[in-house]
Amino acid sequence: MTLDDAGGFRVGRQDAPWFLYAVLFASASVIIGVLWDISWHRTIGRDTFWTPPHLAIYVGGVVAGLTCGWLALRTTFAADPGILDKAASVRFWGFRAPLGAWICIWGAFAMLTSAPFDDWWHNAYGLDVKILSPPHALLAAGIGAIQAGAMLIALAWQNRGASSRRALSRLFLLAAGLMIINAATIASEHLQRWDMHQAIFYQVAAGVFPFFLVFSARASIARWPATTIAAIYMALTWLLLVVLPLVPARPMLGPIYVQMDHLMPPDFPLLLIVPALAIDVAMHRVRGHDWRLALLAGVLFVVVFVAAQWPFADFLMTRWARNWFFATDRMPYYADVAFQHRWYILDPPAHLSIGLPIAAAIACASARCGLWCGNWMARVQR
């Protein structure tokens, strides 16, 4: 790897580096472990810290930390001009490594720090009432950092002109799809199916998803990047929805209102692929006018997402969705009589005439921030 005449980096014939695959494995292990852990809590409760989902989460953190730690040491002391050139790295505390590796290392430290914090929190306060308890917020930040690091490693190699640019682009989109799952999980308390006729549901979605879809699409060289990312989110979430209920499990923490003999699946994924496709079309049509594109992408996201998700919410409450494919008939063990009574009842619409325009404004701001971030990521070479 050498500097070219324009001041960028020129890479010889190189495939995607092995450490990118290791970090992507870590990212996938972590996010699968998170969804598995939520299912575990909704089915079994908390019996011990050393549950299989926790092991999947923290194994991912360890793999990412060790891989990128080795990469920093190797780049600093024994750089290989073909793969680990110091010129394509960032200096930190006297050590050198790609920017994505440093972010992964921080994420691994954050995740591993959250482990004893989470164990203490549960021993002190019992079962989590909210997904974003303080230790879980630290864990989510660490997971996001590992996912962002994987994206930056893939982009750096892609942007330096590696011969396997298409393969690197696909790996980048995989990392971005895993990040969308993480973002959807963090925001899930406001994205329940009972809220799908509420303005707050669309406002939260508008604040979260356009940013990730737009910055990933701007940084990628793929033709339909936002659609691909949304498809990865939907496919992996649905796959776990089908697989997790095959695992035998029983509640171990009272009071138990619903008898269960298998793990409860995650909720059916949001129909993000529909607005993602609209965003891809908009980005194909509007070039060189980021403010105009942000306004168009934000409004399109809300309009198309409401058009798709609103009637789908009605469908999810019908008997036609109470099967293995949609799994809306699976309730957590702690669902009391009142909870069970409202399980198939949508909250009534409220303040939509004001709430949806606010959602559109939020989506436009989210898309504009995504374009700023994507423009920077499209230039990353270290």
Whether the pLDDT of residue 63 is over 60: the answer is yes
Token pair recorded at residue 27? 């990212």
- For 131, what's the count of Cα atoms within 13 Å in the CB-facing half-sphere? 18
Query: Of 54 and 308, which is predicted with more confidence?
Result: 308
Summarize pLDDT for 93-137 with one digit per residue, the tens.
767 778 888 888 888 888 888 777 766 666 666 655 566 667 777
Instruction: Express as a percent the part of the chain with pLDDT over 70.
Output: 87
SS3 per residue for the chain: CEECCCCCEECCCCCCCHHHHHHHHHHHHHHHHHHHHHHHHHHCCCCCCCCHHHHHHHHHHHHHHHHHHHHHHHHHHCCCCCCCCHHHCEEECCEEECHHHHHHHHHHHHHHHHHHHHHHHHHHHCCCCCCCCHHHHHHHHHHHHHHHHHHHHHHHHHHCCCCCHHHHHHHHHHHHHHHHHHHHHHCHHHCCHHHCCCHHHHHHHHHHHHHHHHHHHHHCCCCCHHHHHHHHHHHHHHHHHHHHHHCECCCCCCCCCCCCCECCCCCCCCCCHHHHHHHHHHHHHCCCCHHHHHHHHHHHHHHHHHHHHHHHHHHHCCHHHCCCCCCCCCCCCCCCHHHHHCCCCCCCCCCHHHHHHHHHHHHHHHHHHHHHHHHHHCCCCC
pLDDT at residue 8, as a whole number: 43
**pLDDT bracket for residue 12 (50, 70, 90):** very low
Q: What is the mean pLDDT of residues 78-88?
A: 57
pLDDT at residue 378, as a whole number: 80
pLDDT at residue 42, as a whole number: 87
Mean pLDDT of all residues belonging to the chain: 84
Whether the pLDDT of residue 287 is over 70: the answer is yes
**pLDDT bracket for residue 353 (50, 70, 90):** confident
CB count within 10 Å of CB 190 equals 15
Distance CA 301, CA 217 (A): 14
pLDDT at residue 132, as a whole number: 65
Name the least confident of 74-78, 227-231, 301-305, 322-326: 74-78
Q: Parse the chain into domains and list their residue ranges.
A: 1-186, 191-382
Summarize pLDDT for 13-53 with one digit per residue, the tens.
456 778 888 989 999 999 999 999 889 888 887 656 778 88
Whether the pLDDT of residue 74 is over 60: the answer is yes
Summarize pLDDT for 240-275 with one digit per residue, the tens.
999 999 999 888 877 888 888 889 999 999 999 999
pLDDT at residue 267, as a whole number: 92
Provide the sign of the torsion angle of the four alpha carbons 74, 78, 84, 89, taken in this order.
positive
Residue 99: which of 143, 21, 154, 17 has the closest Cα? 154
Whether the pLDDT of residue 75 is over 60: the answer is yes
pTM metric for this prediction: 0.87
Residue 92: which of 61, 62, 68, 66 has the closest Cα? 68
What is the separation, in whole angstroms, between the first and last Cα of the chain?
12
Distance CA 377, CA 91 (A): 19
Please give the class, per CATH, of domain 1-186.
mainly alpha
